[in-house]
Structure 1
Amino acid sequence: MNIFKRFWKSLYSPADIASFRNDKIRKSIVYIIVLSFVTFLPLAYFTNVTTKNALKVGEETITNEIPNFKVTDGKLVLTDKNAKNIPISIDQDELHIYFDASGTLDKDDVDNKIASYDSAVAFLSDSIYITAAGVSQSVSYDTAGISDKADLVHLYNSIESLAKYFIPIALLVLFIFTLGSVFFRVALYALFGFILSGFGRTGIAFRQNWMIASYSITLAAVFTMIMEALQIIVPFGMEINMVVSMIFVFLAIRSIPPSEPTILEK
């Protein structure tokens, strides 16, 4: 059975998943890599779009819209006497930029102002807060090497020139971490199946539980991919995926006749 048929069967049939348990382990490894890559595509797409949208803001917009400032003891201080010390908002489609030296805004305020999958760069009174595709990161001005507006413009120019190299590398690193987390979860589900099968006493070895777990993640992975493609954040999404995958492992093990002989493919 080729990988596409295995994928289709794994979406709904624990019995078919159980029948894959005696295959060569390299088949499960290839399957996990391919499945992880396909489900990673929506995240990669939105990360790429978000980064490009951020770069569209441009040096001119930053120069014209953000007042002169300096960083003193890690805090934003306005040096433009004509500028009012109030939060400034710059909206560019799904990208939002905030500048606030007054300390009025915080991270929660920024999150509440934008939609779930919109992106924002906020220059808060004590740090730079970046959020994109549901992932957030806060960086101090000292860490970013920003002491005034000129440093900010210089940092932007540097990022813009390196973006064509940085984006593919960042996506590759992100995919490697994603793939590692998938293998880790498969190992946990395999251990769960091994415990259910009486630590191998029923004739189902850990290796076979690994094979079952490899295909049991399919439905949860596809669900996650669809939600990310639709830009919908599902509450307790990770927990739901774990429960669904474990149910598939449980049903697959239950579908194996106790007296069925085990023949491992070498």
Structure 2
Amino acid sequence: MNMFVQLWKSLYSPKDIARFRFQGIGKTIGYVFLLTFLSILPMAYYLTTSFVEGIRNTSALLQNELPSFTIENGQLHSSAKEPVHIDQHGFTIIFDSTGQVTKEDVERFNNAIGLLKHEAVLIANHQSQYYSYSAFPDVKITDKDVHSFIETLQSLLPVFIPLLFIIIYLFASASKFIGICILAFFGLILRSTLDKKLQYRHTWIMSAYSVTLSTVFFAVMEALQTAVPYAAFIHWFVSIVVLFLAMKEVPSSRPHNE
């Protein structure tokens, strides 16, 4: 059966998920990679566009809006007496050499860059990265150096963006496989409760398809830019319920059968 057909059936049919338990482990691994790839596309798209837009806006604002500054001895120095807050096309830049703004203040924005007293904060599609100035204790950095670095970064975007996508994909795939392995152990517990003759191999394959509904749901929510409360709980609850329903479709173990 085609993997895309399997994906579709896994959204609504526990009976088909139960039937998939006899297929090869290699095909199931391929399915997990496909499911992970499709699930990260919305996040990768928004993260990439936010990053590119942020780099472009920062380059322009460094030249036109922000005061001259230096980063030395782990601190940001400038002549500004109060924080500078700039909003442009849904992207926010916060410049604060006074120490009044914290990284938690920057994290309230969807897409932002904060040049703070002791660190730089990058927020892209709610994903946070922190860069402490103390990591470069013997280096003096000026606004001209930062502008030059951003120009270099812009020229490397055709290489950096695919590399970023690969890194996201690898981490997401590893996380998905770990989650499936844990879910498969739950399957072994359910096996005894439901009196089913299943091996770990079977519960692992069924678990790989049982996470489809939850994975697709959160991918759609990501595409719609909609936050889901208690996301981890919902993911595990839905996955366990689907696995439970699929295992109920497996014939019960009987003496001298199979």
TM-score (norm 1): 0.88
Q: Which digits, 9 at most, give the CA deviation of each residue in 1:75-110, with x for residues without a partner?
A: 2121x4xxx411112222121111011111112222
- Quote how far apart the aligned CAs of 1:72 are: 3.6
Residue among 95, 103, 125 paired with 1:133: 125
Of all paired residues, the percent bearing the same amino acid is 34
Q: Cα RMSD over matched residues?
A: 2.1
Superposed, which structure 2 residues align to 1:237-256 within 5 Å? 237-256=231-250
Quick one: structure 1 residues 164 and 143, their matched pair in 2 at CA, closer, same or farther if it must change by over 3 Å? farther
Are 1:158 and 2:135 matched, yes or no?
no
Give the structure 1 partner of residue 88 of structure 2: 92
CA distance in structure 2 between the aligned counterparts of 1:88 and 1:69, rounded to whole angstroms: 13
Letter in 2 for 1:56: R
Superposed, which structure 2 residues align to 1:103-252 within 5 Å? 103-112=99-108, 114=109, 118-143=110-135, 147-198=141-192, 202-252=196-246
Contact 1:194 1:200 in 2 (8 A): no
Higher relative CO (Cα under 8 Å, sequence separation at least 6) belongs to: 1
Letter in 2 for 1:36: T
CA distance in structure 2 between the aligned counterparts of 1:5 and 1:61, rounded to whole angstroms: 49
Quick one: structure 1 residues 73 and 146, their matched pair in 2 at CA, closer, same or farther if it must change by over 3 Å? closer
SS at match of 2:192: coil
The answer for unaligned runs of 5 or more in structure 1 is none
The answer for unaligned runs of 5 or more in structure 2 is none
More displaced 10-residue stretch of structure 1: 68-77 or 200-209: 200-209
Q: Which digits, 9 at most, give the CA deviation of each residue in 1:17-70, with x for residues without a partner?
A: 111111111221121111111111101111121122012225342122111122
- Quote how far apart the aligned CAs of 1:201 are: 7.9
- Quote how far apart the aligned CAs of 1:200 are: 11
- Quote how far apart the aligned CAs of 1:220 are: 0.4
Quick one: structure 1 residues 21 and 12, their matched pair in 2 at CA, closer, same or farther if it must change by over 3 Å? same
Letter in 2 for 1:125: K
Contact 1:200 1:206 in 2 (8 A): no
CA distance in structure 2 between the aligned counterparts of 1:107 and 1:76, rounded to whole angstroms: 14
Q: How many residues align?
A: 254
Letter in 1 for 2:150: Y
CA distance in structure 2 between the aligned counterparts of 1:236 and 1:42, rounded to whole angstroms: 20
- Quote how far apart the aligned CAs of 1:199 are: 10
CA distance in structure 1 between the aligned counterparts of 2:217 and 2:18, rounded to whole angstroms: 21
TM-score (norm 2): 0.91
